[in-house]
Amino acid sequence: MVGCTLLKSLLLVSSLGAVSTPDASNLVVVVNKNNPTAELSRTQLIDLYMGKYVAFPDGRKAQPLDIDNNHKLKEVFYKELVGMPLNRVNAYWSRVKFTGRVRPPVQEQDEQAVLQVVATSNSAIAYIQADNITDDVKVVYRFNE
């Protein structure tokens, strides 16, 4: 009986280790497959996610999406994009949103929720792990390049 419990514990620990931890090498930014934007530069992406611009390069409205604050992927995204920890990004948005000129990205619960929004909206833009790319989206920026 003790051997069976030990085996179950070992299996649980090994399966927890198999959970994918997000890192920049697997991070991509996606839009709806019908969005005419083919590619974005890092600067354009920063401008969209930090509120400087509210449109894609062709002038069409852009709606950046964020994953809930407690999600590790969001931390990795902002650290790679703007070199700031999430608490500084949140402080930035706390100051800026009260000006009334810009709004922070829309919060979604997780990558699946973000993918659903992007799949149904030509204006949505989101970051996900490359392993989660679907036929409904296209990659416009890769962090590993």
Name every residue whose Cβ is closer than 8 Å to that of residue 62 and which is 6 or more positions away in sequence. Answer: 48, 53, 54, 55, 56, 123, 125
Mean pLDDT of the chain: 85
In a domain? residue 57: yes
In a domain? residue 135: yes
Q: What is the pLDDT of residue 129?
A: 95
In a domain? residue 124: yes
Report whether pLDDT(76) > 50.
yes
In a domain? residue 86: yes
Instruction: Evaluate if pTM is beyond 0.75.
Output: yes
State mean pLDDT over 100-127: 94
In a domain? residue 88: yes
In a domain? residue 106: yes
3-class secondary-structure state, position 14? helix
In a domain? residue 76: yes
Q: What is the pLDDT of residue 14?
A: 38
Q: What is the pLDDT of residue 118?
A: 98
**Nearest residue to 141 (alpha-carbon basis) of 22, 20, 31, 21:** 31
Number of domains in the chain: 1
The domain that contains 40 carries what CATH number? 3.40.190.10
State mean pLDDT over 52-65: 95
In a domain? residue 11: no
pLDDT band with cut points at 50, 70 and 90 for residue 20: low
pLDDT band with cut points at 50, 70 and 90 for residue 25: confident
| Domain interval for residue 41 | 23-142
